[in-house]
Amino acid sequence: MKIVVLTSETPANVWLVNQLLSRHDIVGIVIERRPLASTPHDKLERRRRMVRRHGLARTINKLLYNQWRSRVLSGSDARIVRESFFPDAAPVEYARPVPTIVVGSVNDAECKAFIGGLAPELLAVCGTSVLKAEVFGLAPKGAINIHTGITPEYRSADPIFWALYRGEPDKVGVTVHHIDSGVDTGAIIHQSAVPVYADDSLATIAVRCIRRGAELYSRALVEIENGTSRTIVRNGVAGNAFLSIDLGFVQYVLFRFRFWRLRSRLPSGMATDTFSAEALR
């Protein structure tokens, strides 16, 4: 089964794509590299749009968190993730060469043309912005995505954070699902919780989710190719979608306090590569 992967350039995503490259017929890779605000004017315009869309208070709250994250959190978290997937200073690169294109958005015309030229049977997505119907409909077997959260309870942005923020470590996990016109609302193919330990951080939990997700992703691809894929129906479960703007400095401070209290209920002794194999149905 010919597969085109749509992804972004984080170490976790490169590692995940490498797992797929080693097991499946990946015929092309689309890398989404969204343009950053490169000038003071561009940054000011983006902040003005944030204020118009979300209000001044939420915008300031988010910008304060972004500053705190970039100066205090990102370095240590990035090291944990990189060293977990590419230890001993191994280069972050793809395991084998395949036709590759870099686009500003996975919904760009050049992305659609690239996919159309390769004529894949399925699209495999990890770590991109939301696909429009004219993109996820390009492959006859559709598109599937990996989401490091339990859906429908924790959809969209920062699912690990919000599950712990709300005191639900049992809802930390990973979902592989079909892509539809919603955000992480497609039919669930595989879903699994992963354990959370008292000495965990958001970064170590994310690594555990990605490792577990790679196994579920590969299993889903095999099942789709063989025509044995089934979906999980979770009736009567309330869905929640959290936006990126929702996680601000205030929420992070509250999270630190809540996670500190939660630790007393969690097992000690972090085991990096363990997980719960029990699916949530």
List the CATH number of the domain containing 91: 3.40.50.12230
- Main-chain dihedrals φ then ψ at residue 176, nearest 5 degrees: -110, 125
Is 277's pLDDT higher than 50?
no
Which is nearest to 143 in space by CA: 117, 185, 114, 179? 179
Strands 122-126 and 188-193: unpaired
CA distances from 125 to 39, 184, 233, 269 (A): 31, 12, 21, 33
pLDDT of 187-237, one tens digit each?
A: 999 999 999 999 999 999 999 999 999 999 999 999 999 999 999 888 888
Is 201 a member of any domain? yes
DSSP, collapsed to helix, strand or coil, labels residue 275 as coil
> What tokens does 30 get?
């689309």
Whether residue 264 has pLDDT greater than 50: yes
According to the model, what pLDDT value does residue 270 have?
A: 57
Is 115 a member of any domain? yes
CA 271 – CA 204 distance, rounded (Å): 10
Tell me the pTM.
0.92
List, for residues 170-182, the tens digit of each pLDDT value.
999 999 999 999 9
* Model pLDDT, residue 75: 84
Can you give the residue range of the structural domain that contains 121? 3-33+45-265
In a domain, 279, yes or no: no
Say whether pLDDT at 99 is over 60.
yes
Residue 275 falls inside a structural domain = no
Task: Report residue 129 as tokens.
Answer: 């912005």
Instruction: Look at residue 101 in the predicted model and tell me its pLDDT.
Output: 97
- Interatomic CA distance for residues 263 and 251, integer angstroms: 18
128: amino acid identity, one letter: T
Domain count, the chain: 1
Residue 36 pLDDT class (50, 70, 90 cuts): confident
